């Protein structure tokens, strides 16, 4: 939601209607934990190899504490922000956590619709839907959908976009 909190206009962009699946919480958490563990392992390896335990103790502690916060807080924050919605004429997504991004693409300009499931997503029964347009600004992607919902959504989008020709290239 764009809550500008300032003066001016009478309209604002409302958040998209649907949240992603709740199972995205542990999925994001696992991914974050993986990232933090890689960094920690690297530091531990360096400390052991160069026997710098004393020098690296404080940085290790800081990284560990910050990492824990990241793993706990980020998924919840993302869950609050990540949303999606499709209408007959457009796809609308919101994503990010500290910085946020909202994207809108009209159905008539969609070029491809893909669903993707990584191994970790599979564990949680999740799936991502990626919608590309002819723009180089990158695709719209909806992460952390239940895989059945994702398949339905992809099918719906494919059907709708086939009905509306032209991609403005």
Footprint of another protein on this chain (CB under 8 A)?
A: 1-6, 8-19, 21-22, 80, 83, 85, 87, 89-90, 92, 98-106, 109, 111-112, 132-137, 140, 145-146, 149, 167-169
Give the nearest distance from C-beta 77 to another protein in angstroms.
12
- Residue with smaller CB distance to another protein, 4 or 49: 4
Those residues with Cβ within 8 angstroms of residue 19's Cβ, 6 or more apart along the chain or in another chain? 79, 82, 83
Q: What is the CA radius of gyration of the chain?
A: 20
Give the nearest distance from C-beta 40 to another protein in angstroms.
26
- Residue with smaller CB distance to another protein, 39 or 149: 149
Estimate the crossing angle of helix 53-81 against helix 24-49, to 10 degrees: 170
Give the nearest distance from C-beta 162 to another protein in angstroms.
17
Rounded CA separation 29/26 (Å): 5
The three-state secondary structure class of 21 is coil
Give the nearest distance from C-beta 144 to another protein in angstroms.
10
Those residues with Cβ within 8 angstroms of residue 65's Cβ, 6 or more apart along the chain or in another chain? none
- Residue with smaller CB distance to another protein, 21 or 160: 21
């Amino acid at each position: 939601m764009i809550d500008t909190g300032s003066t001016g206009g009478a309209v604002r962009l409302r958040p998209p209607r649907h949240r992603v699946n709740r199972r995205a919480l542990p999925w994001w958490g696992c991914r974050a934990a993986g990232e933090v563990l890689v960094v920690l392992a690297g530091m531990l390896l360096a400390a052991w190899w160069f026997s710098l335990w004393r020098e690296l103790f404080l940085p290790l502690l800081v990284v560990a504490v910050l990492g824990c916060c990241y793993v706990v807080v980020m998924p919840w924050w993302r869950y609050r922000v990540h949303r999606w919605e499709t209408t007959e004429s457009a796809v609308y997504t919101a994503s990010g956590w500290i910085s946020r991004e909202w994207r809108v693409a009209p159905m008539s300009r969609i070029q491809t619709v893909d669903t993707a499931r990584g191994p970790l997503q599979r564990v949680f029964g999740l799936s991502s839907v990626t919608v590309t347009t002819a723009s180089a600004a990158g695709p719209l992607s909806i992460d952390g959908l239940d895989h059945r919902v994702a398949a339905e959504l992809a099918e719906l989008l494919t059907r709708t976009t086939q009905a509306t020709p032209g991609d403005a290239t």
